[in-house]
Amino acid sequence: MGQQPAARAAVMSDVARLAGVSHQTVSRVLNNHPSVRQETRERVLRAVRQLNYRPNALARGLAGRRSRVIGVVSFDTILYGPAATLLGIERAARAAGYGISIVTLERLDRAGMRSALDALTEQSVAGVVLIAPMLTAAMAVHGLPTGVPAVVVESGGAGELPSISVDQVAGARLAVEHLLSLGHPTVWHIAGPRDWLEARDRVDGWRLALEVAGRPVPPVLQGDWSPRAGYEIGQSLADRPDVTAIFCANDQQALGLLRSLHQRGVRVPEDVSVVGFDDIPEAEYLSPPLTTVRQDFDEVGRRCVATLLELFGQPAGHTTDPQVEPTLVVRASSGASRG
C-alpha cells in the first residue's frame, strides 16, 4: 500500500474560520494585543488548541527583530493600475516609517512567487504585499507559505491571506447607472483581458447593472487594456445607430475609442457617450475630457500597510476594510441620449 499523505497543518485562516473572527484578530490575539475583548481572545485560543495550530517559527522569530522594510512582489508592467498601486504602497509605507524592497517578476506564477518570497524573507523584511491582479497570480498566492505577515492586493477575496482591493463591481455599476440615467437604452462594454480579476469583476458589474434595470445586455466586446483595442473595436461600432453608450474597462481603451469615433465622424457625447475606468492623469485632458471611474490607489496602499501593522501587533492607525469604494468622475464625454 502507498504511503498516506500527511495531513495539512492548520494555518491562521483555519483558526479565524473556526473562531468566527478575522485573520487580523487572530494575529492580534497571538501577539497579545490589548485591543481584543477577553471573550474573543478565549474563543480564538480555543480554536488554536482545537486545531493544534502552531504559528510559523520564522514569522515569530522575526517579530522580535523586525526590520523597517516592507517587501512588495509585483510584475513587470507599464499598465496604470498596477504601477499606481505600487506607488500607493510606497507612499503609505514611507508615511508609516518603513522603506520598501520590490521584487519584480516577469510571470506571476507559483514558482516565481515562491522565489520572490524566499528572497524577501532572506532580507528579513517586516512583511510582504503581493500584487496579484491576474487569475493565475491569485491562484499562485493561495496556500503559499509566506513565513512573514502578508497581505494581497486584488486576490479575488479568497484564500488564507487578508486582501485589499477596489470594489470593481461597484465601479462598473456606477459607470453603467450613470449612462442609463442619461436616457441610453443600453450600454456596450469593451472588456479587459479574461485572465484579469479586475476585468472579470467589471464585466460582472456592467451586466448586473443592466439586468437590474431590465435593459438588454449586448455581447461583451473583448479588449486587452490597450488603446489599439479600443480603436479597433470603435471602427466596428462607428456605423451602428443602436450603439449610443460605451463603457470601457480602462481609460487606455477609451482613449483609442475616442480617436476611432472622431476619425469616423461620430461625435462624443452627442452621438455616443463614453465612460472609462481608472481616471488616469491624462483623462481630463482628452478631447472631450473623459468621464471615468476613479480608483483611489493611495487608499489601497494605506489599507495594505495598516493591515500589515495590525498583523505586526501594532496599532493600524487607519481602516483595514478590505474593499475600497470607487467614485465616478463626470466630465464631458457622457451626455443625454440622442434618442
Instruction: State pLDDT tens for residues 112-163.
Output: 887 888 888 888 899 999 988 887 777 777 666 666 788 999 756 556 788 8
Q: How does residue 50 score in pLDDT terms, banded at 50, 70 and 90?
A: confident
Provide CATH code, domain 69-165+297-324.
3.40.50.2300
**In this predicted structure, what is the pLDDT of residue 2?**
45
The alpha-carbon radius of gyration of the chain (Å, integer) is 23
Would the pLDDT of 6 be above 50? no
Would the pLDDT of 60 be above 50? no
- Mean pLDDT computed over every residue of the chain: 87
**In this predicted structure, what is the pLDDT of residue 61?**
42
Would the pLDDT of 76 be above 80? no
User: How far apart are alpha carbons 195 and 250 in whole angstroms?
Assistant: 15
Task: Give 255-304 pLDDT, tens digit per residue.
Answer: 999 999 999 999 999 999 999 999 999 999 999 999 999 999 999 999 99
**In this predicted structure, what is the pLDDT of residue 44?**
86
**In this predicted structure, what is the pLDDT of residue 27?**
74
Domain with CATH 3.40.50.2300 in the chain: 69-165+297-324, 168-296
Domain with CATH 1.10.260.40 in the chain: 12-55
Higher pLDDT pick, 187 / 22: 187
When pLDDT is averaged across residues 12-37 and rounded to a whole number, the result is: 78
Would the pLDDT of 105 be above 80? yes
Instruction: Count CA atoms closer than 13 A to 328's CA, side-chain side.
Output: 20
User: How far apart are alpha carbons 97 and 8 in whole angstroms?
Assistant: 37
Q: How does residue 339 score in pLDDT terms, banded at 50, 70 and 90?
A: low
222 φ, ψ (degrees, to nearest 5) = -80, 120
User: How far apart are alpha carbons 194 and 334 in whole angstroms?
Assistant: 26
Task: Give 218-232 pLDDT, tens digit per residue.
Answer: 999 999 999 999 999
Cβ contacts of residue 188 below 8 Å, gap of 6+?
Answer: 218, 221, 237, 243, 245, 246, 247
Higher pLDDT pick, 146 / 21: 21
Per DSSP (E only), the strands in 167-314 are 188-191, 221-222, 245-248, 273-278, 291-294
Cβ contacts of residue 148 below 8 Å, gap of 6+?
Answer: 58, 59, 62, 71, 120, 121, 125, 126, 127, 128
Q: How does residue 308 score in pLDDT terms, banded at 50, 70 and 90?
A: very high
Highest mean pLDDT among 81-85, 108-112, 261-265, 306-310: 261-265
Superfamily of domain 168-296: Response regulator (3.40.50.2300)
Give the CA distances from residue 203 to residues 27, 35, 199, in Å, rounded to whole numbers and listed in that order: 35, 40, 6
Look up residue 213 and give its amino acid. Answer: A
Of 195, 88, 72, 89, the closest CA to residue 133 belongs to 195
Please state which of the ranges 39-48, 182-191, 235-244 shows the lowest mean pLDDT: 39-48
Q: What does the DSSP 8-state code read for residue 166?
A: E
- What are the residues facing 211 on neighbouring strands? none
Of 275, 215, 217, the closest CA to residue 251 belongs to 275
When pLDDT is averaged across residues 179-205 and rounded to a whole number, the result is: 96
Q: In this structure, which topology does domain 12-55 adopt according to CATH?
A: 434 Repressor (Amino-terminal Domain) (1.10.260)
**In this predicted structure, what is the pLDDT of residue 155?**
58
When pLDDT is averaged across residues 35-46 and rounded to a whole number, the result is: 85
User: How far apart are alpha carbons 277 and 291 in whole angstroms?
Assistant: 8
**In this predicted structure, what is the pLDDT of residue 66?**
63
**Whole-prediction pTM:** 0.80
Would the pLDDT of 62 be above 80? no
